[in-house]
């Protein structure tokens, strides 16, 4: 059952990214580029996504566990640390440079051409070295 749910969730996520225009990097960069030809689409995507997701979080209060029997995630941490800020600065900078982030790069993989594959390869490489960087950060700045 978990596999069916995973595929269904992935499919809905992919369909949403595709139909919303989020695989079009011009729209993503257009949202970030307040000094250029500003494009508000991303706000509608984010706002639209928060509605069913917010309802789902509400529903978790009234259920003991997920359908699969797994416990729901614990309440979120409230610690805003260096990792969160620095990581988000790196991510945002790369996101702005080409207009791709981890979801849309996969949604566009079948039709986006070589550039999407190059970005994906570099992203995977980055994810591969990240644990080493995190390790160094935590040794330099113990929590």
Partner 1 sequence: MDWIWGLIGGLLIGTGGAVYLLGNGWIMGASGIIGGLVDGSGRSTRKERLVFLAGVIAIPAVLSLIFGRVDTNLTANWPLLLIAGLLVGVGTRIANGCTSGHGVCGMSRLSLRGFAATAVYILAGGISLLIFRHVLGVI
The interface with partner 1 within residues 13-72 (CB under 8 A) comprises 13-27, 29, 32-36, 39-57, 59-60, 63, 65-68, 70-72
Secondary structure of the chain in the HEC alphabet?
CHHHHHHHHHHHHHHHHHHHCCCCHHHHHHHHCCCCCCCCHHHHHHHHHHHHHHHHHHHHCCCCECCCCCECCCCCCCCCCHHHHHHHHHHHHHHHHHCCCHHHHHHCCCCCCHHHHHHHHHHHHHHHHHHHHHHHHHHHCCC
What's the closest the beta carbon of residue 61 comes to partner 1, in angstroms?
A: 11
If binding is defined by CB under 8 A, does position 110 make contact with partner 1? yes
* Among 92, 140, 142, 143, interactor with partner 1 by CB under 8 A: 92
If binding is defined by CB under 8 A, does position 80 make contact with partner 1? yes
What's the closest the beta carbon of residue 143 comes to partner 1, in angstroms?
A: 14
Counting residues that bind partner 1 (by CB under 8 A) gives: 115
What's the closest the beta carbon of residue 4 comes to partner 1, in angstroms?
A: 8
**Pair 25, 105: CB distance under 8 Å:** no
If binding is defined by CB under 8 A, does position 136 make contact with partner 1? no
What's the closest the beta carbon of residue 132 comes to partner 1, in angstroms?
A: 10
If binding is defined by CB under 8 A, does position 84 make contact with partner 1? yes
């Amino acid at each position: 059952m978990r596999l069916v749910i995973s595929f269904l969730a992935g499919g809905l996520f992919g369909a949403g990214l595709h139909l919303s225009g989020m695989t079009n990097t011009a729209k993503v960069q257009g949202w970030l580029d307040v000094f250029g030809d500003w494009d508000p689409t991303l706000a509608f995507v984010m706002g639209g996504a928060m509605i069913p997701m917010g309802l789902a979080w509400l529903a978790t209060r009234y259920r003991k566990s997920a359908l699969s029997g797994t416990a729901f995630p614990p309440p979120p941490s409230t610690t805003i640390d260096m990792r969160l800020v620095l990581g988000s600065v790196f991510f945002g900078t790369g996101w702005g440079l080409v207009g791709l982030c981890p979801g849309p790069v996969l949604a566009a993989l079948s039709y986006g051409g070589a550039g999407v594959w190059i970005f994906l390869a570099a992203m995977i490489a980055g994810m591969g070295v990240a644990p080493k960087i995190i390790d160094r950060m935590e040794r330099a700045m113990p929590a």
